[in-house]
Amino acid sequence: MATLTAAKRLVIKIGSALLVDRESGALRDEWLKALAADVAWLKGQGKDVVLVSSGSIALGRRVLNLPQSDLALEQSQAAAAVGQIRLARAYQEALNPYDITTGQVLVTLEDSENRRRYLNTRATLNQLIGLGVVPIVNENDTVATDEIRYGDNDRLAAQIAVTVGADQLILLSDVDGFYSANPQQDSSALRFDIIEHITPQIEAMAGEGVSGLSKGGMVTKLMAAKMAIAGGCTMAITEGSVMRPLTALEKGANATWFLAQSDPHQARKRWIHSMKPRGEITVDAGAVTALHAGNSLLPAGVSTIKGAFGRGDPVAILGPDGHKLGQGLSRYTAAEALQIKGHRLEQIEDLLGYSGRGALIHRDDMAL
């Protein structure tokens, strides 16, 4: 059985319907304060926490006196601009009493589809988490056009969970789990406690969404679950509207858990292995030992570079005898790698004219 206690790094998705009162369009302050207490409780156990929060459009809409539904794209974008600043501030104020620093991170679909931007997002989020910050993530609705939008924070949250290597994703929702049919329409609908495999039968059960404010119905939640579990992250759907929903979950509140089959680390290694390399890096005997000991690949240990790869591209790593050791994502372009190979990190700035990014392949981006 999955539990919150087991998690080391958690991504929590908060839907608009929880944060913004449907009637008045006002922020639900008391609920947010209680959520902040839950976040502090989790952080106090040494867990990393990332929040993915919706609500910018719902909040901004009220301020701008825009209609409750059917906004044109540019109207939602304007609403998001006005609402996001309030949303971020609300989190900052709610978490401040616990001495928790928040940081706002706005992403678009392109940030996960383009490998270079993906690596950048990952590095920034990891840096923030490492500094003890709770990142508050949302889609950059103000610049994202229809074609390049997620449109729902369920999938965005799953993408963020995989990006930061979270081992759990909790979707705080207006339903307490995944049902065999829509429970509001079908009284015989049954809730699943655990789903180990998302079969076509399970997919057929995900009808339409039930909430007016939030975008994501069960369909997007299942898509999120698929992304998460493929990335080694267990996902739960639980009712978020109660006060302190995470404490409630820990105490056994209704939920559906989608179990990941592997851990985030293994899933990432598999992903790195699955890519077609765009170049080859041959390393010396010293580097082979260092890599097997779990270290990053430094330019000093590199003897030859082949191929025309860009930053973030997969490259094969070969031993001195030409035997393939594994592969990894290069932090430099092939041209840069050629210039810095055989040199120490301190020399990179002189060689390239800028400070560079340390190791040629970071150990987290390498699968041997």
Interface residues with ligand GLU (CB under 6 A)? Answer: 16, 54-58, 138-139, 141, 152-153, 214-216
CB of 137 to ligand GLU, least distance (A): 10
Alpha-carbon distances of 250 from 70, 205, 264, rounded to whole Å: 37, 27, 22
Tell me the C-alpha distance between 322 and 318, whole Å.
5
Identify whether the C-beta of residue 169 lies closer than 8 Å to the C-beta of residue 233: yes
Which residues, listed in sequence order, are joined to residue 191 by a DSSP beta bridge?
179
CB of 51 to ligand GLU, least distance (A): 12
Q: What are phi and psi of 311, to 5 degrees?
A: -65, 135
Identify whether the C-beta of residue 295 lies closer than 8 Å to the C-beta of residue 38: no
Listed in sequence order, the residues at least 6 apart from 358 whose beta carbon sits closer than 8 Å to its beta carbon are 296, 331, 345
Tell me the C-alpha distance between 81 and 102, whole Å.
19
CB of 324 to ligand GLU, least distance (A): 43
Identify whether the C-beta of residue 160 lies closer than 8 Å to the C-beta of residue 125: yes
Q: For residues 107 and 287, which CB has a smaller minimum distance to ligand GLU in the complex?
A: 107
Q: For residues 138 and 168, which CB has a smaller minimum distance to ligand GLU in the complex?
A: 138
Q: For residues 209 and 232, which CB has a smaller minimum distance to ligand GLU in the complex?
A: 209
CB of 49 to ligand GLU, least distance (A): 19
CB of 215 to ligand GLU, least distance (A): 4
Q: For residues 239 and 280, which CB has a smaller minimum distance to ligand GLU in the complex?
A: 239
